[in-house]
Amino acid sequence: MTPGGTRGAPGVVVVTGVGRYLGAHVAARLAADQRIERVIGIDPPESGGESTDLPDGVERLRVDGGSLGSLLADLDVDAVVHLALVTAPDPQHGGRGAMKEQNVIGTMQLLAACQRAPRLRKLVVRSSTAAYGASFRDPAVFTEETEPREVPRGGFGRDILDIEGYVRGFRRRRPDVTATVLRFAPFIGSTADTTLTRYFSQPLVPTVLGRDPRLQFLHFDDALEVLHRSVVEDHPGTYNVAGPGVLSLTQAIRRAGRVAVPVLEPGLSNAAALARTLGFGRIGLDQVDLFVHGRVVDTSRLEREYAFTPRSTAAAFDDFIRAHHGRAVLTREQLAAAERAVLDGIRQVRAAVRERS
């Protein structure tokens, strides 16, 4: 396959998870492509979380996992885009148990259905750089071949490892299908609304004392572009998808005109307490570990095979800042004064601890 090469766009495309933000936008983009005849969005009969209206041209079906096999065959599906993943447990919708049911069991059912779909020739699966985990033993940069030094502690990272394992098995059983796995960095940008964007939207941004992790972001529009190309072009394999370059956490916070408020790390074994301390609502251990250790991936394979380079991490973050804030919340002088106040507070806490000991 040559970079950007294609043997024709598929006629019928199924997109899972269209009730969520990413799935709805991917389905709309594919429906606008005149080379694609039909776009069908699939959601469970009773799906929690987001609910998004779909544009004209996208059909929505609500089916359970057990009905997928006959559905894909009856629809003569050419391509499946699997986006129906939950990134963090939602206590209001079953917590970690429901999350694993959708991510792992749902993917198993979908792949079993794909295996029985005779016309299927393309499978695109959303994955995540959370597959690499995040720990103090990590290499400076992860490539697609790098194994995680430690099994991810968070449920989402472990789910991703299971999902990718099932896709490898599918590839062996259906070598005639072009299977593409996209390991996305955290989304950001003018339209993204995620745990990450809500974190940076706070005037005072809690951080872990003594930690300044390196971070990579991916602009939401670039994620859509890569997903679109994965459907209409042939790109078998696994790809890291992230904006080139990095920002440290403190750089990102200052860029946003926010104030970093370092807090003492209560020990990662007490992750729930740390998450509450950091001011998050729904958050998993994957996000906690990311903001302690950071993660950077190599994207040269994506750039070579897709002939496409996402905008840089810094540019994606700046677009988020412009859209969500318009300007810095604090002036440079106010920012410096606030940071001095935070540092003075830390010194006072340390002095009090020394006196008690």
pLDDT at position 282, please? 57
pLDDT at position 268, please? 36
The mean of the pLDDT values for the chain is 83
pLDDT band, residue 1 (cuts 50/70/90): very low
Residue 190 has pLDDT above 70, yes or no: yes
pLDDT at position 35, please? 94
Long-range contact set of residues 270-279: C-beta below 8 Å, sequence gap at least 24: 271/153, 274/208, 277/206, 278/199, 278/206, 278/207, 278/208, 279/199, 279/202, 279/205, 279/206
pLDDT at position 297, please? 97
Backbone angles phi, psi at 256, to 5 degrees: -80, -5
Task: Give start and end residues of each alpha helix (H) in the chain.
Answer: 21-31, 68-74, 95-100, 106-115, 155-173, 195-200, 220-232, 249-255, 271-277, 285-293, 300-306, 313-324, 332-356
pLDDT at position 159, please? 95
Higher-pLDDT residue of 292 and 12 is 12
Least confident of 10-19, 67-76, 190-199, 237-246: 190-199
pLDDT at position 274, please? 46
Question: Cα(157)–Cα(286) distance, rounded to whole angstroms?
Answer: 6
> How open is the CA angle 323-325-329, to the nearest 5 degrees?
160
Residue 328 has pLDDT above 50, yes or no: no
**What type of residue is 127?**
S
For the chain, the straight-line distance linking the first and the last C-alpha, in angstroms and rounded, comes to: 66
What average pLDDT does range 121-147 have in this prediction?
93
pLDDT at position 279, please? 47
Q: Tens of pLDDT along 266-315?
A: 543 344 444 444 545 556 677 778 888 899 999 999 999 999 999 999 99
Please state the three-class secondary structure of 180-218 as a single string: EEEEECCEECCCCCCHHHHHHCCCEEEEECCCCCEECCE
Q: How many CA atoms lie within 13 A of 188 on its CB side?
A: 29
User: Beta strands 38-43 and 58-62: pairing type?
Assistant: parallel
What average pLDDT does range 111-125 have in this prediction?
95
pLDDT at position 354, please? 65
Kindly provide the b/e burial profile for residues 134-157, where b requires at least 16 CB atoms within 10 angstroms of the residue's own CB: bbeebeeebebeeebeeebbbbbb
pTM: 0.84
Residue 342 has pLDDT above 70, yes or no: no
Question: Cα(253)–Cα(111) distance, rounded to whole angstroms?
Answer: 41
DSSP structure string for 38-54: EEEEEE-SS--S-----
pLDDT at position 184, please? 98
Angstrom distances, CA of residue 219 to CA of 28, 83, 186, 330: 18, 17, 9, 25
Question: Cα(222)–Cα(242) distance, rounded to whole angstroms?
Answer: 9
Residue 132 has pLDDT above 80, yes or no: yes
Maximum pairwise Cα distance, the chain: 74
Higher-pLDDT residue of 255 and 302 is 302
Residue 172 has pLDDT above 90, yes or no: yes
What average pLDDT does range 2-22 have in this prediction?
77
pLDDT at position 69, please? 75
pLDDT at position 7, please? 61
Percent of the chain surpassing pLDDT 90: 50
Angstrom distances, CA of residue 23 to CA of 141, 169, 177, 221: 29, 25, 22, 13
Backbone angles phi, psi at 228, to 5 degrees: -60, -50
pLDDT band, residue 58 (cuts 50/70/90): very high
Least confident of 30-39, 66-75, 292-301, 323-332: 323-332
**288: number of Cβ within 10 Å:** 21
Residue 356 has pLDDT above 80, yes or no: no
Q: Tens of pLDDT along 68-86?
A: 878 888 889 999 999 999 8
Percent of the chain surpassing pLDDT 70: 80
What average pLDDT does range 164-178 have in this prediction?
97
> How open is the CA angle 75-79-50, to the nearest 5 degrees?
90
